[in-house]
Amino acid sequence: MQFNYYCPTELRVGRGQLASLAESVDELGKRPLVVIDPDVRKVSASAQQSCTVLSRSGLSAEIFEEIPSNPNIETVTAGAEVFRKHQADVVVAIGGGSALDSAKAIAAVAEHGGSIWDYIGDDLVPGPIAPIVAVPTTAGTGSETTPFAVFTDKGSRRKDGMYSRYFYPRLSILDPEIYCTLPPQITAETGMDALAHAIEGFTARTKNSLCNSLALEAVRLIARSLTISVQDGSNLEARQEMALASALAGIVITHCGVGAAHGVGMSLGGLYDVPHGRAIAMLLPSVMEFNRQAAPDQFAALHRVFQGADPDMDQQQNVAEIVSALARKIGIPVKLSDLGVRSEQIDELLNDAMSRQDMQNNARTIDRADAEQLLRTLL
């Protein structure tokens, strides 16, 4: 066995941790750029209060909130311009994966110039960037612990990820109170994304035994708390467990990667602007059903975790059926057609998806014919 493990992000977990935000930022810089999801700023008192505190605490904060759900080159270019004008020296990201990913990219472009598209790929950011403090408000992408950021090129309709060793947030604050205003649908879709990270990472071809325990713990937390978080958004215990699960699953995908649900899901995002969590959530049960036979030990371990989290569960169901039932229960779309994708678009979708590294990392070898069959059953 041989693997590496690295996660340099400090995590502060628990109710009340957000109170330390201004003090923590002050240790890293004096001129923060706050990259914040505008919807979060509108509805979350905690988020609004964080902006206020950062502006009144002796720090000079500038707010940037032009964040679409699938961030693109223009988002980053505009943000980098604001960063430079403000002469920012630390970036505070408050929001879902889009805000966190944008913050990382804005810091890179502001420091090193060019366009974000110059840095798409593996480790192309040439040097250090301003420190990132992440305050995630969705429990999903795991960007709070990963060195990844994902962007869409609107021209080519291509959605691609970038990895940089400089993208790990210096600090991530996981305070359950800030998740409480997240609407049920986004809670459901992003939570399923976190579940997909844990399951696809755990069963991926890239092995990392240290991450196995993190993946199984993330699955246990999600099995116990996702439905509660969707049905009762103010349940702080469930929100806390989902926040931790997302961070753990982020560490898992950093080391193990993902699989076919993400391969196809990224294409759905780039080509048809389907939000990431929704695309992944719809695909995950079918990809698991396809993969089951290739990783029997891992799927047996996942089954035990779901059983432990919910003793009332139907014991006859396999893990793919359990995840499918969970998805239906929390209102996830079950068909490609629910996402607006038609039969005649499958070729275009496959052309894009089959070129992705995630497909090669899938638990079971998946060729174009396999992928087409899988997608056609979802029409």
Say if residue 327 is exposed, middle or buried (CB neighbours under 10 Å; 0-12, 13-18, 19+): buried
Q: Which is nearer to Fe ion, 131 or 136 (CB)?
A: 136
Positive or negative, the Cα torsion across 190, 131, 253, 316? negative
Pair 220, 308: CB distance under 8 Å: yes
Query: Other CB atoms closer than 10 Å to residue 14's CB: what's the count?
Result: 15
Please, what is the minimum distance in Å from the beta carbon of residue 265 to Fe ion? 7
Establish if 200 lies at the interface with Fe ion (CB under 5 A).
no
Please, what is the minimum distance in Å from the beta carbon of residue 197 to Fe ion? 6
Q: Which is nearer to Fe ion, 159 or 220 (CB)?
A: 159
Pair 129, 147: CB distance under 8 Å: no
Q: Which is nearer to Fe ion, 175 or 193 (CB)?
A: 193
Establish if 358 lies at the interface with Fe ion (CB under 5 A).
no
Task: Report CA-CA distances (Å) from 20 to 47, 138, 173.
Answer: 13, 20, 9
Q: Pick the piece of the chain touching Fe ion (CB under 5 A) from 125-133, 188-196, 213-221, 337-345.
A: 188-196
Please, what is the minimum distance in Å from the beta carbon of residue 193 to Fe ion? 4
Neighbour-count burial for 173-194, b at 16+ CB within 10 Å, e otherwise: bbbbbbbbbbeeebbbbbbbbb
| Residue 137 structure tokens | 């408000």
Closest CA to 48 of 61, 38, 62: 38
Pair 271, 239: CB distance under 8 Å: no
Q: Which is nearer to Fe ion, 41 or 255 (CB)?
A: 255
Q: Which is nearer to Fe ion, 59 or 99 (CB)?
A: 99
Say if residue 82 is exposed, middle or buried (CB neighbours under 10 Å; 0-12, 13-18, 19+): middle
Please, what is the minimum distance in Å from the beta carbon of residue 258 to Fe ion? 7
Could you give phi then psi for residue 174, rounded to 5 degrees?
Answer: -110, 85
Facing residues of 241 across strands? Answer: none
Please, what is the minimum distance in Å from the beta carbon of residue 49 to Fe ion? 29
Q: Pick the piece of the chain touching Fe ion (CB under 5 A) from 122-130, 187-195, 211-219, 293-301.
A: 187-195
Q: Which is nearer to Fe ion, 20 or 357 (CB)?
A: 357
Establish if 193 lies at the interface with Fe ion (CB under 5 A).
yes
Please, what is the minimum distance in Å from the beta carbon of residue 180 to Fe ion? 23
Q: Pick the piece of the chain touching Fe ion (CB under 5 A) from 109-117, 119-127, 189-197, 210-218.
A: 189-197
> Residues in contact with Fe ion, total (CB under 5 A)?
1
Q: Pick the piece of the chain touching Fe ion (CB under 5 A) from 22-30, 186-194, 243-251, 309-317.
A: 186-194
The closest residue (CB) to Fe ion is 193
Q: Which is nearer to Fe ion, 65 or 193 (CB)?
A: 193
Could you list the residues that contact Fe ion (CB under 5 A)?
193
